[in-house]
């Protein structure tokens, strides 16, 4: 299955582009599912259907699904209370009834991730189109599975479960209660679920389509989003320049916006596969308007974003790790080596990445940013990598 993640700055029309892209694919005979977490159901309105907790058929080969975040939240909390019965009774806690529960902030995004996992495992569809939140929230959402897995491994290392028979003894020796078995079981279940979502996001068949209006604010938003996506290792399939004004605009007051639009489009074409989508002069509604947008189809092949290591031991005595970071600024870059991991900070984004096996026996010997690529040099550690080896 191909997965197309669509995002962009708020108000750029990303949901409309997601609807048009899904409809176009369905009309070409591709079994398509389009997902959204938008509580206002803008996607359903654009397609002329009401979407709900269950998938809804919008047209031939096209299904719309807006997961019910409230129902998922209530089910998860009820299950947690059931597993933690002993601990809650010990604390004298009063259980919450499902009827009094309302979703916490972030519940929509978490339910979208779970639906993304479930849809990707389904054999009923050939294409999954995901209407993500605006770019800043979308980038945080896509980073969530990897980050939560790392936190779980640090807080509840799986290898500690091997000592579960010794927990009562260790608890008496330490004078504090040891984590209960249900806690490890919960962590293991989360690990499986998060790993499944992360696998979908990292799959080579998963790509991102950016949507933005060509203009100064759109250019800044695209630059920021592209940097955040590159740090996550996600490839940009296309940049949709939405609501493009006609070159021969009848009103003279549009001369300034048109000039800005042309300038930004020229800059974008230097770095992206840009597809302009014309401004209809109204908010698109229904299948006819969506078809009139003439959005591009989904590319069959998109080169994955690679972070290669080149061997320059013979020439310079180093290995070089290449990290593509388009739009990165030297002053906003920071690197911290921590054991077998590297903490990379690029502007407002940060990622903790495991080092490739060859680099774990090396020390960081310097770094340089050239042409949108961060090149980190690693020199072999003599104690771990003896000369002549």
Smallest CA-to-CA distance from 359 within 315, 323, 324, 310 is with: 310
The whole-number pLDDT of residue 91 equals 59
CATH number of the domain located at residue range(s) 2-68+104-292 in this protein: 3.40.50.300
Each domain of the chain, given as residue ranges in start order, spans: 2-68+104-292, 309-380
Strand partners, 5: 130, 208
Domain 309-380, architecture per CATH: Sandwich (2.60)
Which residue do the tokens 């582009």 mark? 17
What whole-number distance in Å separates Cα of residue 135 and Cα of residue 145? 17
Contact 170, 163 (CB under 8 A): yes
Taking the CA atoms of residue 84, residue 86, residue 88 and residue 90 in that order, the dihedral angle to the nearest 10 degrees is: -160
Instruction: Give average pLDDT by consecutive 10-residue segment, the chain, 389 residues.
Output: 93 92 94 86 77 79 82 64 62 66 69 87 92 92 90 74 50 48 71 88 92 94 95 92 80 74 93 91 84 86 87 92 94 93 94 93 93 94 67
**Beta pairing, strands 274-278 & 236-244:** parallel
What whole-number distance in Å separates Cα of residue 107 and Cα of residue 37? 9
What whole-number distance in Å separates Cα of residue 366 and Cα of residue 351? 19
225: Cβ–Cβ under 8 A, 6 or more apart, which residues? 7, 8, 9, 135, 139, 210
Confidence (pTM): 0.85
Give the end-to-end CA distance of the chain in Å, rounded to a whole number: 44
CA 148 vs. chain centroid, Å, equals: 13
Same fold, 2-68+104-292 and 309-380: no
What whole-number distance in Å separates Cα of residue 272 and Cα of residue 266? 10
Query: How deeply is 188 buried, as exposed, middle or buried, from its count of CB atoms within 10 A (0-12, 13-18, 19+)?
Result: middle
Contact 137, 183 (CB under 8 A): no
């Amino acid at each position: 299955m191909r997965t197309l993640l669509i995002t962009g700055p708020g108000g750029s029309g990303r949901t409309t582009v997601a609807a048009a892209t899904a409809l176009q694919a369905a009309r070409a005979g591709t079994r398509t599912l389009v997902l959204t977490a938008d509580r206002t159901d803008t996607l359903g309105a654009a397609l002329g259907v009401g979407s709900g907790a269950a998938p809804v058929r919008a047209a031939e080969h096209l299904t719309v699904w807006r997961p019910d975040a409230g129902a998922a939240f209530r089910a998860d909390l009820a299950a947690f209370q059931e597993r933690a019965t002993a601990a809650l009774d010990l604390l004298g806690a009063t259980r919450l009834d499902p009827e009094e529960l309302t979703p916490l902030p972030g519940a929509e995004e978490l339910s979208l991730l779970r639906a993304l996992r479930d849809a990707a495992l389904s054999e009923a569809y050939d294409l999954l189109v995901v209407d993500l939140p605006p770019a800043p929230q979308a980038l945080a959402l896509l980073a969530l599975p990897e980050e939560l897995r790392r936190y779980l491994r640090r807080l509840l290392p799986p290898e500690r479960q091997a000592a579960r028979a010794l927990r009562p003894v260790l608890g008496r020796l330490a004078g504090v209660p040891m984590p209960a078995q249900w806690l490890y079981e919960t962590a293991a279940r989360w690990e499986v679920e998060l790993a499944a979502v992360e696998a979908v996001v990292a799959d080579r068949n998963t790509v991102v389509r950016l949507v933005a209006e060509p203009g100064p604010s759109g250019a800044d938003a695209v630059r920021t989003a592209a940097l955040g996506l590159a740090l996550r290792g996600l490839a940009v399939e296309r940049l949709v320049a939405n609501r493009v004004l006609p070159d021969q605009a009848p009103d003279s007051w549009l001369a300034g916006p048109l000039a800005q639009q042309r300038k930004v489009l020229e800059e974008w074409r230097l770095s992206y596969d840009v597809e302009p989508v014309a401004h209809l002069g109204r908010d698109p509604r229904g299948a006819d308007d969506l078809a009139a947008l003439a959005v591009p189809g989904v590319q069959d092949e998109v080169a994955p974003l690679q972070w290669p290591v080149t061997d320059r031991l013979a020439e310079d005595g180093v290995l070089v790790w290449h990290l593509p970071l388009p739009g990165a600024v030297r002053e906003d870059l920071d690197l911290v080596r921590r054991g077998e991991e590297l903490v990379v900070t690029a502007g407002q984004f940060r990622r903790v990445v495991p080092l490739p096996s060859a680099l774990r026996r090396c020390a960081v010997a310097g770094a340089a940013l050239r042409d949108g690529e961060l090149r980190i040099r690693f020199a072999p550690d003599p104690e771990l990598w003896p000369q002549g080896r």
